[in-house]
Structure formats: structure tokens, C-alpha cells
Amino acid sequence: MIAALKTELLLRKDKWEGTAIETIYFGGGTPSILSITELQGLLDLIYENYKISAQPEITLEANPDDLSKDSINQLSKSPINRLSIGIQSFFEDDLKTMNRAHNAEEAKTCLDEATKHFDNITIDLIYGIPNMSLKKWEQNLQMAFDFGVPHISSYALTVEDKTALHNFIKKGKYPPLDEVLAAQHFKHLIKCTQDQGFVHYEISNFGKSNYFSKHNTSYWQGKTYLGVGPSAHSFNGKERSWNVANNIKYIKALAQNILPSEIETLTKNDRFNEYIMTGLRTVWGIALNKIEDDFGKAYKRQLLTSAQKFIDQKLLVRTVDIDTHQNVVEKLKTTSDGKFLADGIAADMFILD
């Protein structure tokens, strides 16, 4: 697999010549099972063949059970400068419900050690878990605050088909998901993080000043990105490509120096819809002048027409911001009540081919 990843990086480098790489992200699985030598080998290849910015954000996703005291110490001496740790919950019963490999003690021990070596840490926390009281959710958050992590990504529990949790709910052994409970947890999440000085800069992301995820922000702002590995996606502004999701097919193709990917050219409507979806999820909102400049006046009129009912319901609001060049920019943003419904609001405003 590592040999295939290196081959793909070499095959793709010419199209990225001259492009400054600002972030590198090891994720989409459990990359922390790789040794520090293997990770360093991939980073060396990237640095040798791509133009890297002076201070890139280099993130490693990891689960608590993969982060021993020794591995954290080794990672701290590598170019990796940000950890994304899948805590999910600090309570044992929640972790068992979600069938997580780690336990509550491992979650705390891992964070205790990681915060000694890394300044830039983000953790994942799950809300909307049935039987989780508001008090218990608040205790989860307080533990995160007590560890001093500067970034939290938090998502509502979802139940996938054919999982153990799905079967338990189906058989009546576990209560079904409660949207009202999830909404209560979400509102409490916003209040508690705000009280602690976090900025709610994207629907599921909360960061202290200077600790927003540069990598994820590039997705939301429509920047180009290169994805390497099985099922990885790439985007160049107009085209999206994705690699085959099968590991064996991926490795076999690259053994023959063949890129195992498909390409889709996005229509104007596709690009408009993506901007609406990502824009409404962020604190920066949708810039109406960008809509007009990139898509035309007709798209702007259509957007404002479809947005009006949400403005009337106080789920969306039109605001005026001043950008870095002191230009006045009119924006469309979600209100506090609209944040939890952002994806549904965006979908209602899509323009279909």
C-alpha cells in the first residue's frame, strides 16, 4: 500500500508543479497504524517532489488506542504538527454503544500525553446519543475544555445500516435516535464552546483563535486539493476525480503505473450548489457578489428568491461585512436557529440540471 501511495504521488506531481501545498492531511482511515518511519518516508517524498509552503499544517488522524506514550513522543519529533484524535466520548457506555475500539481511560490517558507534546490538537465528540442527558453531554464537553484542546469537531450520532447499533435499535434493545435531543445537545454545544472562547466557524467545528483547521477550511472555501489513496477525492475547481475504493485494485493499477481514478466535470449548477452548501455551513456565509461574479445575475436573483422564506422564518439573514481589502460584501448567513438546519436549507435552494 505504501509503495502504491508513493507511486501515485509521483504520477500526479507534474499537474501540481508550482502549486504551493499549504496543508497535508493523513486521514480517511487509521493512518496512525503506520510507523513513524513509514510516515516520514511519505513526507520525504512529498517534500522532494512538491512545492511546500514555509509553514504547512500537517495533520495525523488517530484513535486513542493507537497513541501510546512512545508513539506520541516520536510523532512530536516529526514534521507532523497537528493531531486529530477520535475521542467520541469520555464515557465507557457511550463508547460501547458506538462499538469503539478504545475505552474511556485510554481516551483520557492519550489526551493527557498528547497535550504535553502538541499545541495544535483537535478531538471529535459525538452528541445525540440516546440516553445521554444534557448534564452528561456537558460533562463530556467540560473534560475536553479541562484538557485545553483548542479545537473540537462535533457531530450528531448517525446509525448506518448493517451495524450492531442499527440491529439493536431495530430489535428494540436500544432506543432510536431522537432529533429533539440532538438539537438540544447542539444548542448546548454552541453555548458552552462560546463561553470557553471558541469560535463556531463551521457547523460541526469550533476553534480557538488561530486554531481553525486550515485543511478543512480549504474544502469549504472551494480551494483545489489532491487526494491520494483508495477512494480519495481530488478537486481542481472545475473537475472532481476519485480513486477506486478497492485496495487490491488500487495497488494492482499503480503497480502498472496506471492511475485508478475517474473524473467528473462539474456543471455550473453543481459548482453553485456546492458553494451554497459549504457557504451556509461556515461563519463566512455566502457572498452575494461572488454569486453574481461567478455565476451571473440570474443565479443571484434565484438564490434570493428561494432564500426569502428562510429569511422570513429567521433561519437566514442578510448581513454586510467588510473584507480584508475594506470592500463592502453582502452576505447570506444562517442564524443561530438556522445552523442546525443548514444542510436542509441549502438543499432547498439548489438549482438542479
Average pLDDT value for residue range 106-135 = 95
CATH number of 20-219: 3.30.750.200
Residue 28: pLDDT band with limits 50, 70, 90: confident
325, pLDDT greater than 80? no
Distance CA 249, CA 238 (A): 27
Min mean pLDDT across 43-52, 133-142, 325-334 is at: 325-334
**Residue 130 DSSP SS3:** coil
Residue, of 162 and 253, whose pLDDT is higher: 253
- Give CA separation, 241 vs 1, 23, 245, 264, 319, in Å: 20, 19, 12, 6, 35
Between CA 332 and CA 286 the distance in angstroms is 5
Into which CATH architecture does domain 268-348 fall? Orthogonal Bundle (1.10)
Q: Which long-range contacts (CB under 8 A, 24 or more apart) does 21-24 make?
A: 21/46, 21/50, 21/51, 21/52, 21/53, 21/56, 22/53, 22/56, 22/57, 22/214, 22/218, 23/56, 23/57, 23/58, 23/59, 23/214, 23/215, 23/218, 24/52, 24/56, 24/57, 24/58, 24/59
Which range among 42-51, 88-97, 165-174 has the greatest average pLDDT? 42-51
**pLDDT tens readout for residues 273-295:** 999 999 999 999 999 999 999 99
For residue 109, what pLDDT band results from cuts at 50, 70 and 90? very high
Domain borders along the chain are 20-219, 268-348
Q: pLDDT tens-digit profile of 176-233? A: 778 899 999 999 999 999 999 999 999 999 999 999 999 999 999 889 999 999 999 9
* pLDDT, position 167: 78
